[in-house]
Amino acid sequence: MSEGVNRKQISEGRETEEYKNRLELPKYIRLDASTLCQLKCPACYMRKNPELVKSGCGYGNLKFEDFKKLIDDNILEKIELSNSGEIFLNRDLVKIIEYGYRNGVRVTITNGVNLNYLTEEQAEALVKYEADTITVSIDGASQKVYEIYRVGGNYKRVINNVKKIIKYKKKYKSRFPYINWKFIVFGHNEHEIEKAKAEAKKLGVDEIIFDVNWDKTYSPIKDALRVKELTGIDALDINTSPIVQLKKYKEGKIEWYFCRDLWEPQINWDGQVLGCCANYQKNFGGNVFKEGLMKALNHPDMIYAKNMVTGKVAAKEGIPCTDCWCYKAMKEADIWLTSPKAEGKI
């Protein structure tokens, strides 16, 4: 990693009150580089509810100038860039990844991309500036099956774009980025699991990972036993209830739970604090690009929300959690998250 602003801040600002306060801020945040997307996946909340999106997070791209200021003003170690759109539609992306790299901030793209569009410059930047991990959603091993869910997508183009990244990994003799082929198993694509595994191996991606479709109404798995044998996914035991997920999280069986994001929060492309990756409709009061990370993350609504999801205070009008299905489930079951900060998990 290069010499950068973070080290400069550390050496110059160690004794100041401001520096100590900054240490209280998360080192890891999620910052959506784009909420735009060229595909129309049937279960995608961003494409199904355009009016809710427009009055909430909106459709747009993160600007390099905003990213630069965020990096310059804070002590961040890791930023996840993908969440609700396709980050490669952001024309500033190469500059963003490069600036992160030059300032010691690890960039990840693990939530997912469809990779239908990738320029040579972007492919090279991912490798040259050591993007940590990229997860590419490819739910099929042929155009016919792939396009059933990835509506408007082109299977061959995606495969060629994965090849582009691998070409630069070879050129730079780099292990970055780690490439995940993510295959969401549906009823309409389960017969292509083995073919996808073979394609992934031939292509040279680092790993093929299988996931479940959380929308039970859309194309459910048909042959659960066979799917379990091939992927380890137990379709007969899929329980997407937030309470089941919370219990698993508390027992240490899974590392992530929705509301945990509040401590390593989701920031929108325009700086609005969205809090968690499930929220796209309302913000938590602050704007990181207008007020700075410190003030935005310490907005009273954000503090109140943390107290709500840990069961310390009652729901309040205006806090995004109040109308959220996840909060309602926790309230009904009277089971609450414990602050990951208090538990020393972050």
Q: Which residues pair with 209 in a beta bridge?
A: 182
Q: How far is the CB of 18 from ligand SF4 (least distance, A)?
A: 28
- Residue 287 contacts ligand SF4 per CB under 6 A: no
- Residue 157 contacts ligand SF4 per CB under 6 A: no
Contact stretch for ligand SF4 (CB under 6 A) within 7-15, 44-52, 168-176, 244-252: 44-52
Residues 6+ apart with CB under 8 A from 47: 37, 39, 40, 41
Hey, what are 72's tokens?
């310059």
In terms of Cα–Cα distance, which of 228, 226, 250, 230 is closest to 238? 228
Binding residue for ligand SF4 (CB under 6 A) from 93, 324, 339, 340?
324
Q: Which is nearer to ligand SF4, 49 or 119 (CB)?
A: 49
Binding residue for ligand SF4 (CB under 6 A) from 258, 263, 289, 304?
258
- Of 130-149, which residues contact ligand SF4 (CB under 6 A)? none
Mapped onto helix, strand or coil, the DSSP state of residue 196 is helix
Within 32-119, residue ranges assigned H as helices are: 45-48, 50-55, 64-73, 93-102
- Residue 212 contacts ligand SF4 per CB under 6 A: no
Q: Which helix (H) or strand (E) holds 113?
A: strand 106-113
Contact stretch for ligand SF4 (CB under 6 A) within 6-14, 52-60, 210-218, 323-331: 323-331
Q: How far is the CB of 139 from ligand SF4 (least distance, A)?
A: 10
Mapped onto helix, strand or coil, the DSSP state of residue 141 is coil
Q: Which is nearer to ligand SF4, 88 or 99 (CB)?
A: 88
The whole-angstrom separation of Cα 6 and Cα 12 is 10
The whole-angstrom separation of Cα 325 and Cα 240 is 12
- Residue 275 contacts ligand SF4 per CB under 6 A: yes
Give CA angle at 193 (192, 198), nearest 5°.
95
Hey, what are 32's tokens?
């959506």
Binding residue for ligand SF4 (CB under 6 A) from 85, 177, 286, 292?
85
- Residue 267 contacts ligand SF4 per CB under 6 A: no
The whole-angstrom separation of Cα 222 and Cα 195 is 18
Q: How far is the CB of 86 from ligand SF4 (least distance, A)?
A: 6
Q: Per-residue string for binding with ligand SF4, 296-315, x by CB under 6 A?
A: ---------x---x------
Q: How far is the CB of 301 from ligand SF4 (least distance, A)?
A: 11
The whole-angstrom separation of Cα 327 and Cα 306 is 11
- Residue 259 contacts ligand SF4 per CB under 6 A: yes
- Residue 53 contacts ligand SF4 per CB under 6 A: no
- Of 93-132, which residues contact ligand SF4 (CB under 6 A)? 114
- Residue 320 contacts ligand SF4 per CB under 6 A: yes
Binding residue for ligand SF4 (CB under 6 A) from 5, 31, 46, 141?
46
- Of 174-203, which residues contact ligand SF4 (CB under 6 A)? none
The whole-angstrom separation of Cα 223 and Cα 236 is 10
Give CA angle at 164 (190, 92), nearest 5°.
105
The bridge status of strand 178-185 relative to strand 266-267 is: unpaired
- For the chain, the distance separating the N- and C-terminal CA atoms, rounded to the nearest angstrom, is 23
How many residues of this chain bind ligand SF4 (CB under 6 A)?
Answer: 24
In terms of Cα–Cα distance, which of 128, 82, 123, 121 is closest to 102? 128
Q: Which is nearer to ligand SF4, 71 or 308 (CB)?
A: 308
- Residue 321 contacts ligand SF4 per CB under 6 A: yes
- CB burial of residue 65 (10 Å; 0-12, 13-18, 19+): exposed
Q: Which is nearer to ligand SF4, 190 or 264 (CB)?
A: 264
Q: How far is the CB of 346 from ligand SF4 (least distance, A)?
A: 15
Residues that bind ligand SF4 (CB under 6 A): 37, 39-41, 44, 46-47, 85-86, 114, 258-259, 262, 275-276, 278-279, 305, 309, 320-321, 324, 326-327
